[in-house]
Amino acid sequence: MAKADFKDYYSILGLTKSASAEEIKKAFRQLARKYHPDVNPGDKAAEERFKEVSEAYEVLSDSDKRQKYDQFGQYWKQAGQGGGNPFGGGNPFGGSSSNAGFEDVEFGRYGNFEEFINELLGRNGGARSPGGNPFGGTSYRTSTSYSSGPGTSYSSSTSAGPNLDTEANITLTFAEVFNGVEKKLTIGTANIDVKIPPGAKRIRLRGKGKTSPFYTSATGDLYLNVELKPHSFFQLDGNNLTCEVPIAPDEAALGTALDVPTPDGTVTLNVPAGIRSGQSLRLRGKGWKDTKGNRGDLMVKVQITVPKEITAPEREAYEQLRAKRSSDPRSHLKGIQL
């Protein structure tokens, strides 16, 4: 690795090696505010500068990492003056006399500069440790579970980086989402009341996301994704509801009127004579609703069912029907072959 690749973290923060911990923190906060991605949206140069500043602060704000960095910097300078590449050819960390003065650092275990920097930054195989700088280029995911009282729960996950927004899933019943509901949620140590409007699938809670480590007054938003608990009768299909209703063979043959449950109460559905099992009938405007109050349809699937046990008169009627039936339901199967 060329000497020019070495990063002078002190210079990045505009400091010297004699800078105090308080001076390092002050310089970092000033530069972080200046180059933060939220302040410079779409500015790649500012984003790279912000990453450099964050990386420099991560090392210099930790006394142990700073000591190792200072010692390595001295070794790098000394090796460069000697005209050799400390990471090329033979490994100078393998017990060479040029190690004199650096007994506190076990250089023999570093194969190259990248390995040394990975240890300084707390990296493990390229993945940043939870205590590392969240803006150094490698992201990780964290998850949090929240409680909102009996019968309702939600969990959240967020991706590390300058984005302070957080997403969470909240599970509600069909009735709660259809009619709208107000829930008490616990986020960290705070209890908040959340009003969920009818038909909402995603809710934005402003200022309830993560807090910026640089601006104490800057917070992201919490997005709640609404998930539905399974219902015993209705299923959701886009903005429509679906359900399944059984009918008897005579109802299918002769037609009938059915009482069908809907979100608004029971309505009468006319079933035409000769309907097939599995065919669906539409009840317009009786389906799901969106946040603007628009309604989908309720699709009623008809299933013809035959009783397992029948009375003597019913058996007699079925036998007469079989004897007098004029149609063959399997006539279309004749002549079928491979």
**What is the C-alpha separation between 269 and 25, in angstroms, rounded?**
72
Q: How many CA atoms lie within 13 Å of 183's alpha carbon, on the beta-carbon side? A: 26
* One-letter identity of residue 22: E
Instruction: Determine the pLDDT at residue 90.
Output: 43
Percent composition of the chain: helix, strand, coil (DSSP 3-state, to 5): 30, 25, 45
Instruction: Determine the pLDDT at residue 245.
Output: 97
Instruction: Determine the pLDDT at residue 72.
Output: 66
Q: Is 60 exposed, middle or buried (0-12, 13-18, 19+ CB in 10 A)?
A: buried
Q: Do domains 141-228 and 235-324 have the same CATH topology?
A: yes
Instruction: Determine the pLDDT at residue 185.
Output: 85
For the domain with range 235-324, which CATH number is right: 3.30.565.10, 3.40.190.10, 2.60.260.20, 3.30.465.10?
A: 2.60.260.20
Q: Which parts of the chain register pLDDT below 50?
A: 1-4, 74-105, 107-108, 125-161
Instruction: Determine the pLDDT at residue 151.
Output: 46
DSSP string of 259-274? Answer: EEEETTEEEEEEEPTT
Domain layout of the chain by residue ranges: 3-128, 141-228, 235-324
Instruction: Determine the pLDDT at residue 78.
Output: 41
Q: Domain 141-228 class? A: mainly beta
Whether the Cβ atoms of residue 140 and residue 131 lie closer than 8 Å to each other: no
**What is the C-alpha separation between 177 and 192, in angstroms, rounded?**
19
CB atoms within 10 A of CB 148: 20
pTM above 0.75, yes or no: no
Phi-psi region of 192 (alpha: psi -120 to 50; beta: other; left: phi over 0): beta
- Torsion over CA: 90, 95, 98, 104 (sign): positive
Instruction: Determine the pLDDT at residue 153.
Output: 46
**Per-residue pLDDT tens over the stretch 192-206:** 889 999 999 999 988
Q: Is 268 exposed, middle or buried (0-12, 13-18, 19+ CB in 10 A)?
A: exposed
Tell how many helices (H) and how many strands (E) occur in the chain: 8, 15
| Beta-sheet strands, E only, within the chain | 123-124, 127-128, 141-147, 153-159, 166-172, 181-187, 190-196, 202-205, 222-228, 235-237, 240-247, 256-262, 265-271, 280-283, 298-304
DSSP string of 4-45? Answer: GG---HHHHTT--TT--HHHHHHHHHHHHHHH-TTTSTT-HH
Per-position b or e across 80-93, b if 16+ CB within 10 A of its CB: eeeeeebbeeeebb
Give the length of the chain.
Answer: 338
CATH topology of domain 3-128: Helix Hairpins (1.10.287)
